[in-house]
Every structure is written in C-alpha cells, then in structure tokens.
Structure 1
Amino acid sequence: MGMRKWLWGLLALLYATAGFASGIASADDAADAGATLTLRADAHEYVPMMELFRDEAGSRTVEDIRSVYDAGSFVLAEERTPNDGYGAPVHWARFEIVNESERREWLLSVAYPPLDRLQLYMIDASGSVVSEKSTGDALPFEERPLPNRNFVFPMELDPGERATIYLRAETEGALALPVSVSSPERFVGKEQSVVLLLGCYYGIMLIMIIYNSVLAVSLRSKAYLYYVLINVSTLFLYLTLNGTAYQYIWPDAVWWNNRAIVFFICLSHVAALLFTRNILNMKLESPRLYRAFTGLVVLETANVAVLFVDYPTGLQMSIYSIVAIQLLMIAACVAGWRNGSHTAKYFLLGWGVFMIGAMLSSLSDAGWLPMTWWTTYASQAGSAFQAVVLSWGLADHIQRMRKEKDRAVELMKESRRLADTDELTGLYNRRYVSHVFEAATRARPGRAVSLLMIDVDHFKKVNDTYGHEAGDQVLREMGQLMKSGFPRTDVLGRFGGEEFMVLLPDTTIEGARIAADRLIAAVRAQPFGQPKGQPLYCTVSIGVAQWKGGDETFLQLIRRADEALYEAKREGRNRVSIAGKAG
C-alpha cells in the first residue's frame, strides 16, 4: 500500500512539474483577439490566432502569397497553435506585430523542432521585405539564425513600428506552428526553465539506463536487456523530438535527423513488445498474445525499412501504432494479472500512465487535439514514470523468480534426499552408497576404502516375538546409533531388511576393524525399547572388507564383505569377521 502511494505521488510530481512549466510558458500569453500581436516591455507573447493559407502546390513566393492575402484567401486559425497533422501541404501563416515598447530587439520562436523547412518574411509598413530568414531540420544546424533546439529568429522593430510577419512551413511529418515573440531576456528565462525540466527527464532516463545495464550484465538477463533498450530508444526519441539531439549529438546529420524519430519509435516498440512477452511468459501462459506480439515485432521491424522509401507514411504508421500497441500491452498486463502474475500489476500501472500520455501526444500530433504544453510533453512525462515503475516491476519479477528458483532447488534437494534415503531409518540407500564409492575411487584411485556389512542377529525372532512394529523400532534406533557412532565422513546406509552398510573412505582394514568392534559394543549395551515391559537387547554381526583397488567394483567389494558377514554368523554371531587382507 505504501509503495502504491509512492507511485501515485511520483506521478503527481511529474505532472505538477509539467504544470509549473506550462504556467511559465503561458503566464504572459496575449489575450488579444485577431492576428495582431502587441509587444510590451519584457514581454513573452504567444501569437494569437494567426491567419493561414494551405499552399497545395507549394510553389508560391512571398509576393504571390501577399496577393493571395489581398484576395481574401487566408482564414483565421481555429486555435492559437495551428496544427494540421500529418501529410499537410505547405502552410503560410500571417500575423501583424505592433511594438508599443521602447525595445528594438525581439526574438520570434517556433517551438516545434521536427519542421523540415521554415522561412520567415518580415514586411514593414511600406510593404518592403526588410528581413528574410530560413531554417528547419532539413538544413544543417549551423545555418540556423540562432543556435537553439527550436527555431528562433532575431528581429528588430523600432518603438511604435508595425510589421507583418509571413511564415512558410513545410515538413514531411506532422505540421504545427507554436509561435511566440519575446524579449531576449524573457526568452532566455523561459528556455532555461524548460531546459531544466528536460534535463531532469534526461537524467531520470539516464540513471535508469546505467543502473539497469549493470544489472543486465551481472544477471545476464534478457528482460533487463529489453528494458534498457526501451529506455535507450525512448530517450533518443525525445532527444530528437525536443531538438536536443540535432543541437548537440548529430548537428550535421540532416538525413538521419529527419528519420531518427521513426527509427526510435519502432525500436522502442520492438523492445517493449519483446520485454512484455518475456516477462509475462506469454509463450506458455498466453499463446495467442505471444503470436500477436511476435507479429507486431515483425511489423515494426519491417516499418523501419519504410522510412527509407516513404518517410511520411512510416512516421504516420509509427505514431498511430503507439495507441494500438499500448492497448495491446494493457490487455496483456490484464491477462497476466488474471493469471496470477504479481509483476503484471506494475506493468499495468506503468503502461497505463504512458498510454494516456502517448495517446494525448499522438492525437495532438495527428491534429485531433490542440497542441498545448500538456499534449506536447504528456508522453514524455508518462515515459519517465513508466521507466521507474517498470524498473520496480522488473526487480520484483527477478526477486520472485529467484525465490521460485530457490524453492525449486530445495524441492529438488529434498526429492533427491528422499530418493537417496531409506525412509524408515533415515540412512542412505544402497544406490547412494554405490555412487559415493564410485566418486571416491575415481577421484583418488589409490586411496584406502573399507566397507562394513552389518546384520542384526536373530531379527526374525524379534518380529515373531514382539511384532513388526517393535522390529521397525529396532531398525530406527539402530540407524540413530550408527549416526552417533560414526564420523560424518563415513557413509551410512541400509542394505535391505535388517542389513546395514558403512563405507569408510580413507580407512584401512585395521581402522575398519576398530570401528566395527566399537559398534558391536555400543549395540550390545543399548536397549532397543521395551516392547513387553522388558528392555529389548540386540546384537549384530559385521563383515569387513577393504577395496583392493584396480578393477574391483562396488558389487565385488560387497560380496567379499558379505562373505565375511556370514562367516561371523557361522562363528556364533555378535562378532566381527575380516574378509581378507588389503590387496
């Protein structure tokens, strides 16, 4: 219960942080209606509803577009951040700026790093183009007007001056235009806040990657490897989406930067599918889900090839597949939970939160939801939460697997002990003693090994006189007596019936004779119960043989010791007989 509260607390913290940044970003939003932005001192203003034109042909110049505007073909955007989803044609955006402050220098920012090409045209009151700049992720990073992960244009506007801004946006992926104008100081302050939050996200993901990579290597676990691959691909996906990767990691790799998003989406999908399939043991527990997951792994792998041929299609397939795959993940976790998997609860929470964020971001990118700070970073916050929860779930899974393995080992040991042990006396059986003999003589062929064959004298008479329960009691107490009379290095066994055996490693025939005499004395002195109110005393006869070495088998050694045992019985019982000299 405490951990569950902790998890919800972490989720609340992540989204509260997101809300804090959202508040920073929107505190000075312009409230003016229409497509005119009024600039005041130290302002950070989001451009209000811009006027838009869809240039289906994509060939018009700024002069052509000005004519289009004069003809009344521009329309007012339905929302502050125009978002036309995937496969959109070239878009032209228009708005006017009035500088009511004493400041001349301003920065115009378009906070959507995946845009391929973006041109800015600034036209003064006389109708002259006074500034023309180009940028976009289809151009090398060094060609940007200002080195920033977003697209930032410096502008100069005299106090009281009015100007018209035209923006031409073109991209193969999703098209969105979150435009703002701010003073350099306010821009730096806002950017520092956002970068700080992004840094926290990157730090969380990096910690998860490093920590679990160490575990993956030390435990040699596929599950940890898949988990690390999920986080690596997710981290690089958001580094690319946020523009950080293009700024710091591959600033000159234009072609790769445009396709990295699809690549890391597909890679994260493949890793997530393999991870969930492995953890929930679908091959045995849910064969149908296993086949579905395998098919999706093949599909996502094939989708990587699509980006080399048709990038927009590959991007749309990957974005839309997020929802389908996340829903399948939820279904798999629910099925695992119903099948009794405790780990599935963690995954259900992690995938569920990430699915909500991913759906919000995907629907926003597709143009079905407004593009706000929340929808832009919802999947990112969800992925950080998911990374932490999945790590805990994976640790819980590994711990439970270890416990199950330990239990299985204990059961196996117990099963082996039962298979090697005589149930009545608790001594080893003949097969186990034979295995010990083979191992001991094979490891050191020249060592001295002796064997005692022991028989309880007149045992049938005990059964006939006192009953089989009394006979069993004699055998049990005989086993206990032998355990207390021989060192742990000697192997005590029940041969069958009332016969016992003792294998004495590193013991010559003389040492074996001494041990046998000691046992005879101990048996003679101990009563074996009081079956009819009177103490029951027994005696034993013992045959002793020493292994000759060479090719002599355990069976041959038993025969020689058994012959010595019968010799002791013929000589009157309650005595020791030696089979022969060593060698």
Structure 2
Amino acid sequence: MSTDVYSFIDTTNNLSFQDIISGKYDSAFKKTAKDAFYTSKLNVNYWLMFRLKNVNATKNWLVEFPDPHISKIIFYRKLPDGSFEKTLASGFDYPFSNKEFNHKNFVFNVRTPKDSIETFYAVINSNNTSSLSVFVRETTFFSGYALREYVLLGFFYGVLLIMAIYNLFLYFNTKDLVYLFYVFYTLCCALNSFSEDGLGFQYIWPNLPVINSWVMLGTPPLLVTAFMIYSYSFLKITQFSSKFSYLIIIFYFLYIIFYVVEKFVSGTRVFYPFVYLIPFILIYLVSFQIYLKGEKYARFFILAYTMIIISFVIFVLRMFDLVPVTLFTVYSFNFGFLIEVVILSIALGDRIRIERHHRELLQYQAINQLKENESLKNTLISELKEKEVILDRVNKELETKVAIRTQDLQKKTDELSIFNSNLSKLVEDLNQMNIKLDVDNWQLKQKVQEEVKARLSDEELSTDKFKELFPDEAACLRYLENIKWENGFVCKRCGHDRYISHTSPFTRKCTSCKHVESVTADTLFHGIRIPMDKAFYIVYDTIRSGKSKTLEELSDLLGLNKNTIWAFRKKIQAAYDYLKTKSKGGVVKWDELLSN
C-alpha cells in the first residue's frame, strides 16, 4: 500500500464535495513536500486527496490522522458502485462518539481491492494549528501499535496519579505546602498531557467537546503557574536569589499579557510561545546558583529539569525529521514529564532527609547543651550552698555590728538633736540681725544715692572726683538699675510685674511673656556704643552748671571720636529740653534725665 498526499486550501469554505470531485479544482491540488505538514491558516477548509494502491489482498488497511486536536474532519471513501461514502463529522468540536473507531486519533477504514488504485478525500477545518499528517496502517499492525501506545500512556498517567496521591498524603502528614504545590504541578502536567494526546476527550469528557477548547486554552498558563509556585517553594528562590525572583515574575506576567493579547485580540502566536520558555529557563539557571550556594537538594531539581530539556530537544529533532517517528520520539514529553515528576518526588524525599538530618543535628546539639547546662546548674547549686553558709555567718556578724552601730548612732542622734535645737535658736537670732542689717543697708544706700545726687547737683566735680563716684561700667549700670526700677519692674510688653534674672547682667526677663529687657532699654543710653562710664561723664559735662568742655577736650579726655561725642551730646540736649518743658519750674533732675 503506497500513498501520495495532495492538498488544496478552500479559503471561502463554500466548496462542496461535489465541487471538489467535479474536476474543476484538480489542478489546484498540490503534492505535499513532506509526510507531515500543518495548517498555516485557521478556520479554513483543507481538502486532502490521496490515492492508494493495494498490493496485498490478504491485509486490511486503515488511514490514520494522528493529530487529535483537529476541530473538524470528514472522510470520503469510494464504494464498489463508484459513489463516495461520507463519514460523520468528527473532531475536537464534536462528540467523541462521532469517530469511526474508538481511538484517540482519527482512524478510518479503507476498502481497496488488490492491485486497484482508489482515490480518497478528507476535508479538515481547525481553529488551532494542527498536523495534517496521514498514515496508512495495516489493521494488525495498528492494533499492536495502538495497544502499546495505550499501555504506555496508562503507565504514564498511573505513575502521575500515584505520585500525586503519595505526596498528598505527605502534605496531610507534614502540613508542608511544598507537597501540595507538587500535587498541583503533577495534576497540571496530567491535564496538559490530556489536552495533547486526546485521552481526556476520550475517557473523561467525551460528550462535552467544548471542554477541549477550554483545556487547550488554559493549560499553558496553568502549567507555568504551577511550575513557578512549586519551584519557588522547593528552591526558596526568593530567599536565595531575590534578583532572579523579580526577573522571573516580570517575564511570567509578560507571558500572560502576550498570551491574552495574541489569543483573544490579534489571533496570532508570534511572541507568547517564546516568552513562555523564559520563566522555565530562568528557574533552571537559578537552580544551579542555589546548588552552588550549598543547597544540595537542588541537584535533583536540576536533574529533573534536564530530562524535560532532553525531551524538548527530541521533540524539535522529530519536527525537523532528524530522528525517526517512534513511540518514544512522539511521546518524548510524556517520558520527560514522567521522569521529572519521579525525580522531583525523590527530591522532596531528599529534602526531607536533609531537613531531618539538620533537625537531628540541632536536637543533638540541644541535648548536649542541656547536659552542659545541667552540669553548670549543679555546680552553681553547690557554690550557692557554700555561699549561703558564708552569707549566714557574715549576716550574723553584720547584725552584731549593726546593733552596736545602732546604739552609737542613737547616742549621736540625741547629741545632734540637742545641737540642732541650739543651732535653731542661733539661726533665729541671726535672721533678726540680718533683718536689721538689711534695713541699715537700705537706709545707707538711700543716703549714698542722695549724696551722689546732691554732689552732682551742687558741686562742680572734677574728672577724678566723678570717676570716684562712677569708677567703671558696672557702677554706672547698677546706678541706672536702681533709678529705672526704683518703683518695681513692669514689663513693657504685657504689663506683668514679675520677673527673673536673665543670663546677661543687669537684665530682667518677664515670667509671663518671656520678654527680656536690659537696663539701658528705653533710656538715654539705649543703642549707644560708648562705654557707660564715659557716657555718664558726657551727660554730666553736658548739663552741669559750669562751663562744659569742648568736643576736642572731651575727645582727648575720653579717647572718643568727636562725631560720636557730638551725636550723643545732641541726644542728651534733646532729652534735656524735652524734660525741661514738661517739668514744673523748668528744673530737670539728674536721675530723671538718665532714665528717660
């Protein structure tokens, strides 16, 4: 039995089978260059034509289309009377029972007499990229081939189920989420395989073909999500490599975005198949980094992932016809997934062993520490007992000494009480004396001030005599303070009459508004830059009854600039004239001039 396949694309989807066999479109059929080719356009009718010549009359032959993802296929075979028989439409969009054979692939019976050449047609329309490969198989060979295929797939799904159940029990026993994530990843692998080999459609949802589209649409993002969750938990990627962690998450979300846009918006598949691989590649690289940091359990993860990479390489080689099409090459991903989940389960066991060894080591160290602590405790207890004996002896000695000392202190206390009583009387007498002294000082101070006023008013004082009255700046400021606040302090800002001394001498601070007022503020000396003793003399010389000194004489005497003396004398004369107009009789007092 030999076959050549010809194809014709009906982009209008309007041509009927009668139009195809009418001969109008025979020239449009082109011979396929390869045994396997794919639907380059979606949702259009691909008409396939092939001729079969039966060279063995003792064998029955079948035609197989091995891709279970075809959305719709109708097979046309020629009957003995020359007419064509049309099979029921079958595919991913139809119930599984529409298939002619109860097989995951599309298999059709052909009836070709010996040495005769018959023409067969098939029309295929698919909404996903599907293989249009056609195989002619002898019935006996196909039965053995199909049996081996189903046994292999049964073994594959059986191992996945056992691994999932085993690790689910481990999760219930240990409450470690990594086992639950492993179960989730294993089930996603099984679901992905169901969508690829068609067994899910055949055995789980045969009467619900719409699930085929949902599964094919959801399994790729679901698989990468499950793998990322498991890898992050098992390898602790966030803990050991935060930079890789962020990079993986970025490419994961990029894949989701490209997948949604290209699946639901543009209807293309340009970027997302490539972006899909990047999170897997990055996790594979970071597993080496984690292993090199001393986390030995990562070696099994690397080995398991390497199996997937090998199966992917075999798949690519088969796509380019570089390796023969066999059960092993066709189901290379199944073998890779199978070996991967087994190794990952071993990896979990190895992780348990490492963690148990670590816990045992910690327990051993803790036990040794407890023994050491117990030994130290016994040593401390014996030392404490010895110290208690010594302490009792010392306490008794101290009690005796304290009793003696208490008696001595009592005597001293009695003597001190008598002394304090005598001292209180002396203090009371001293206070009375201080009160009398304060009165005498105040009276003396008033007499001195009156004497100064009298001398300033009645006498012509020489420079030396004036310096005896006001020898320095402090004496001048003290005199100004007495006359400014003679009647008590009153705050210029708030009118409060309580104050405290400020850090600067001859300055008072209001206790209410915290305003600070210097002794020269709002006086004749406010803002001047002349030493107070020299300023006092200039005031005296300006207003004395005798002849005042000239600017040159004052400049030479006091060592001041003539302009400075002239400005200050002008200020003095203005204040004097102002006070003279206000006073009764036109007499200006010395104290009044200084404080205004």
Q: If the length of structure 2 is used for normalisation, what is the TM-score?
A: 0.59
- Aligned residues of 1:172 and 1:311 also touching (Cα < 8 A): no
SS of residue in 2 equivalent to 1:390: helix
How far, CA to CA, are the matches of 2:9 and 2:218 in structure 1? 29
SS of corresponding position for 2:36: coil
1:94 is aligned with what amino acid? M
- Measured after TM superposition, the shift of residue 351 of structure 1 is 0.8
Q: CA deviation at 1:187?
A: 2.4
Is the CA contact 1:113–1:243 (under 8 Å) kept in the aligned structure 2?
yes
- Residue 118 of structure 1 and its aligned partner are, at CA, apart by 0.9
How big is the shift at 1:410? 5.2
Change (3 A) 1:274 1:386: same
Equivalent in 386, 391, 399 of residue 340 of structure 2: 386
Describe the shift of the 1:174–1:417 C-alpha distance in structure 2 as closer, same or farther (beyond 3 A). farther
Structure 1 residue 286: Cα displacement: 0.8
Partner residue in 1 for 2:537:
none
Provide the C-alpha distance between the structure 1 equivalents of 2:72 and 2:316, rounded to a whole number of angstroms: 22
* Alpha-carbon distance in 1 for matches of 2:92, 2:152: 23
Which of 4, 11, 18 does residue 56 from structure 1 map onto? Answer: 11
> How far does residue 322 in structure 1 lie from its aligned partner after superposition?
4.8
Give the 5 Å matches for 1:75-94: 75-84=30-39, 87=42, 89-94=44-49
Instruction: Return the letter of the residue paired with 1:345.
Output: R
| Structure 1 counterpart of 2:384, one-letter code | F
Deviations 1:214-260 (A, max 9, x none): 11221212222221111111112212321111111111221111221
State the distance in 2 between where 1:370 and 1:116 align.
Answer: 28
Q: Where does residue 199 of structure 2 map in the other structure? A: 244
Q: Name which of structure 1's ranges 333-342 and 238-247 shifts more when overlaid on structure 2.
A: 333-342
Query: Which of the numbers 69, 82, 89 marks the counterpart of 1:134?
Result: 89
**Alpha-carbon distance, 1:263 to partner:** 1.9
**Count of equivalent residues:** 399
Partner of 2:325: 372
Find the residue that maps to 1:119 and give its secondary structure. strand
Give the superposed CA RMSD: 3.7
Query: Match for residue 528 of structure 2?
Result: none
CA–CA separation in structure 1 for the residues paired with 2:131 and 2:324: 8
Distance 1:274 1:541, change over 3 A: closer
The answer to whether the Cα contact below 8 Å between 2:259 and 2:272 also exists between their aligned partners in 1 is no
**Alignment correspondent of 1:223:** 178
Q: In the superposition, relative to structure 1, how do residues 308 and 245 fare at CA in structure 2: closer, same or farther (>3 Å)? A: same
Q: Percent identity?
A: 20
- For residue 334 of structure 1, report the CA deviation from its aligned partner: 2.0
CA–CA distance in 1 between the matches of 2:171 and 2:127? 38
Change (3 A) 1:85 1:408: farther
TM-aligned CA distance change 1:176 to 1:72, over 3 Å: same
Shift of 1:99: 2.6
Tell me the distance in 1 between the aligned counterparts of 2:242 and 2:24: 60
Encode CA deviations 1:363-389: one digit per residue, 9 max, x unaligned: 867x89899345431111111111111
**1:494-533 deviation digits (Å, cap 9, x = unpaired):** 7xxxx515xxxxxxxxxxxxxxxxxxxxxxxxxxxxxxxx
Q: Report what 1:550 is aligned to.
A: none
Could you tell me how far apart the structure 2 residues matched to 1:354 and 1:193 are?
A: 23
Residue 334 to residue 57, structure 1, CA distance change in 2 (3 Å): farther
Are residue 493 (structure 1) and residue 446 (structure 2) matched? no
Selected match of 2:189 from 213, 234, 247: 234
- Whole-angstrom CA distance in 2 between matches of 1:565 and 1:417: 34
8 Å CA contact retained: 2:65, 2:134: yes
Q: State the alpha-carbon separation in 2 of the partners of residues 369 and 113 from structure 1.
A: 23
| Aligned residue runs from structure 1 range 102-501, under 5 A | 102=57, 106-123=61-78, 128-298=83-253, 309=264, 319-361=273-315, 372-373=325-326, 374-408=328-362, 426-428=375-377, 493=381, 499-501=383-385
- C-alpha distance in 2 between matches for 1:413 and 1:68: 92
Q: What secondary structure, in the 3-state scheme, does the structure 2 residue paired with 1:234 have?
A: helix
Q: Distance in 2 between matches of 1:60 and 1:568?
A: 124
For 2:210 and 2:316, the matched residues in 1 are separated by 23
Structure with the higher fraction of residues in helix conformation: 2
Q: 1:409 to 1:126 in 2, by over 3 A?
A: same
Shift of 1:77: 1.6
Amino acid at match of 2:310: I
CA distance in 2, matches of 1:388, 1:243: 23
Q: Matches of 1:124 and 1:183 in 2, distance apart?
A: 20
Aligned amino acid, residue 282 of structure 2: L
Which blocks of at least 5 consecutive residues in structure 2 are unaligned? Answer: 401-596
* Shift in Å, 1:164: 0.8
Contact 1:109 1:152 in 2 (8 A): yes
Q: Write the deviation string for residues 473-505 of structure 1: whole angstroms up to 9, x where unpaired.
A: xxxxxx66xxxxxxxxxxx637xxxx515xxxx
How far apart, in 2, do the equivalents of 1:311 and 1:398 lie?
A: 47
Partner of 1:92, secondary structure, is: strand
Distance 2:173 2:262 in 1: 36
Cα distance, 1:163 vs structure 2: 1.6
Task: Provide the secondary structure at the position in 1 that maps to 2:101.
Answer: coil
Residues 98 and 345 of structure 1, relative CA distance in 2, 3 Å threshold: same
More RCO (CA 8 Å, sep 6+): 1
| 8 Å contact from structure 1 (residues 262, 307) kept in 2 | no
Which secondary structure state, in structure 1, belongs to the residue aligned with residue 352 of structure 2?
helix
Secondary structure of the residue aligned to 2:89 is strand
Q: Secondary structure at the match of 1:166?
A: strand
Any conservation in 1 of the 2:62–2:139 contact (CA below 8 Å)?
yes
Equivalent position amino acid for 2:278 in 1: A
One-letter amino acid of the structure 2 residue matched with residue 493 of structure 1: I
> 1:300: Cα distance to partner?
6.0
State which drifts further: 303-312 or 354-363: 303-312
Looking at structure 2, the residues matched to 220 and 277 of structure 1 have their Cα atoms a distance apart, in angstroms, of 17
Counterpart-to-counterpart distance in 2, 1:137 and 1:129: 24
Over 3 Å counting, the alpha-carbon distance change for 1:305 and 1:222 in structure 2 is: farther
Contact 1:112 1:177 in 2 (8 A): yes
CA distance, structure 2, for counterparts of residue 164 and residue 370 of structure 1: 31
| Cα distance in 2, alignment partners of residues 368 and 226 from structure 1 | 37
Structure 1 residue 90: deviation in Å? 3.5
Contact 1:83 1:370 in 2 (8 A): no
- Cα distance per residue 1:256-297 (max 9 Å; x no partner): 112213322322211111222222222121111111233345
Q: How many Å separate the matches in 2 of 1:563 and 1:298?
A: 77
Question: Conserved in 2, the CA contact under 8 Å of 1:323 and 1:355?
Answer: no
Deviations 1:277-332 (A, max 9, x none): 22222212111111123334545666886798469658x87654553333223212
Kindly state the Cα deviation for residue 338 of structure 1 after the two structures are TM-superposed.
2.4
Q: Deviations over 1:23-53 (max 9, x none)?
A: xxxxxxxxxxxxxx44xxxxxxxxx442222
Q: Secondary structure at the match of 1:152?
A: strand
| Distance change (3 Å), C-alpha of 1:345 and 1:147 | same
